[in-house]
Chains A and B, each alone.
Chain A
């Protein structure tokens, strides 16, 4: 059985196309274009040239011995390596997928790109690709996210994109996707919807994975070269799950490699405020795919919560739901507090400021390493450092009370404060 070769539309019971009929023709066209491009050496060359000369691939693999010692509490703890997607142009893994889709859009003759964004990294990447290829660009972003990631809003505007804040629902990623879909239904003629993660209707989960596979392929080669063997564990954060699936892909068929995906645990999964769709959700359909979904007893989507805008999503890509059921990947929640500890540790021990999203993967690796104790001595962990933390400086500074005029208690971000006031909409089950 190979996990690596799995194609859509279905991943076990998950995936498919739970979409309005109006969009089916566009999805068919996209699938057809993608299949042809995959078989076309000219496309491969274009994509690789951009990845190399524009993104800066291959991304580095960096060993972080001081961080490893700090989190294991011992000198002979597990070795930790970071796959440095934060060093890509625009600062995260998101650019891999965007360049691939933008090339496909050009092949389809589309002149306008739209995207949703949570942390803003996918929006920035899409605005960047649109500028590079001379296309129009509109990015939908939850109103709460435009405020907590204001710097990325400015970046998108500098790149010539129009940013539309979405002020309904929870005002986060899920609502931005709804709005992007509404735009797309009315604009498919000239517009490609650059979905930013391995969620959504077929062919998005399979296609977005394809454009991120390079992460795992490079990582596998690099770790073999550096250590002479495969890692014992790989770790990535999971929002929709694109950086994770990209890294995992390199190791899914290697039985000796334990694979861990870390979901946003928010205030803790015993509270109502988290984004742990796999850990606590149940099968449902949202945004075109069947997957694990945070929903109430009636099937209404439950609002998710996380300090990281990029993980603040109540569902997850269908392939992750499948890998969870199959038992191939272990998914666990990491709370805001745990991830911010790892964030600070990486800053202080290695001089690398990680994205708060990626800090969930760091915290997971820290947890693993600590649990191994002395047994960790000969072990290695590969972590996806999916993005850099520049966009998060304000959120982190507030968390650590480094802003002028902050009093004792850590302040909640705006969406958290709003949600705390909002009435409970239902029982999650």
Chain B
């Protein structure tokens, strides 16, 4: 399942796609898979599996703490593919990884893409890779038919949005605000502009994330975006209540319960 199919399937059902983020191997491999399964069973269309990394500059305290713990427990990159494989086998969701580029670079873009495709992954979100530097990654993802999800920011110029839209495949990740991951009280009004600008630049599908943590946020963003991305709130739920709490929160966020 590719991300565009997952987004379109939700649309056909009269919904916006719900995208949930959880780090691989937090608190351990089996539990992170269980939590992802809970995500899918409670309405997630796309699952983002985060690769724990030593220098996560786009992440706020909740995700940093979780990924640091996973690294402390000895996380290895091979386990990322194992988590993707198991989640793909056990759910109907499209599974992508969210990964800082040096982890791809170290393995080699081509080898990384091959391993990800082999594990059943749909593609990758690369928060510190801009299209300008992505020649290797573009070639590798083309070769293995993977989605490439670049980010669009409130400060991106129209020219940059064109390049981002043209080079992305699957969807574009619209960054809702200037900042790092973490819960926010309200959705920034920049989010709608990012979606409009990115669509005007030619993107077919734009999903919005950063700071989204309540059903209200999800509904608000659903009015203009093709999908809504939630991270820190789910990671906090996992930390405090395990996979079951992830399921409960997902049901709430997707409107399956209230």
Is the C-beta of A30 less than 8 angstroms from some C-beta in chain B?
no
- With a cutoff of 8 Å between Cβ atoms, the chain B residues found around residue A295 in the complex are 102, 106
For chain A, the bracket of interface size reads 35 or more
Binding-face segment, B2-10, B36-44, B49-57, B233-241: B49-57
- 6 closest A-B pairs (Cβ-Cβ)? A299-B106, A25-B155, A186-B179, A22-B153, A301-B54, A298-B77
Q: Are A299 and B55 also in contact (CB < 8 A) when A19-B128, A22-B155, A24-B130 are? A: no
Q: Contacting chain A: which of B11-19, B156-164, B224-232?
A: B156-164
B89 → chain A, closest Cβ, in Å? 24
Mostly helix, strand, loop or mixed at chain A's interface?
mixed
- The answer to whether residues A25 and B102 also contact, given A178-B57, A299-B77 and a CB cut-off of 8 A, is no
* Cβ-defined contact, B178 with A285, below 8 A: no
Q: Which of A17, A19, A169, A298 contacts B55 (CB 8 A)?
A: A169
B164 pairs with A298, CB closer than 8 A? no
**Which of chain A's residues has its CB closest to B133's CB?**
A16
On whether the beta carbons of B178 and A186 are closer than 8 Å, the reply is: yes
Q: Which residues of B contact A (CB under 8 A)?
A: 53-58, 60, 64, 68, 71, 76-77, 101-107, 127-130, 132-133, 150-157, 160, 164, 175, 178-180
CB distance from A29 to the nearest CB of B (A): 9
Query: Given A20-B127, A168-B68 in contact, is the A286-B157 Cβ separation under 8 Å?
Result: no
Q: Once bound together, how far apart are the Cα atoms of A347 and B104, in whole Å?
A: 48
> Are A26 and B71 closer than 8 Å at their CB atoms?
no
The distance in angstroms between the C-alpha atoms of A16 and B136, with both chains bound, is 14
User: Within the assembled complex, what's the spacing in Å between the Cα atoms of A301 and B53?
Assistant: 8
What is the minimal beta-carbon distance from B105 to any residue of chain A, in angstroms? Answer: 6
- Which residues of the partner chain A approach B160 to less than 8 Å between Cβ atoms? 21, 24-25
* Distance (whole angstroms) from the CB of A172 to the closest CB of chain B: 12
Kindly supply a per-residue 1/0 record for chain A positions 199-228, scoring 1 wherever the CB is within 8 Å of any chain B CB and 0 otherwise.
000000000000000000000000000000
> Quick check: A286 and B178 within 8 Å, CB to CB?
no
Asked if A425 is at the interface of the complex by the 8 Å CB criterion, the answer is yes
Collect the chain B residues with CB atoms within 8 Å of residue A174's CB: 55
**Set of chain B residues within 8 Å of A21, measured between Cβ atoms:** 130, 150-153, 156, 160, 164, 175
* Beta-carbon contact of B71 and A300 below 8 Å: yes
Q: Are B58 and A185 in contact (CB under 8 A)?
A: yes
Per-residue CB contact flags for chain A residues 167-193 toward chain B (1 = under 8 Å, else 0) read 011000010001001100111110000
Chain B residue with Cβ nearest A175? B55
Closest to A174 in B: B55
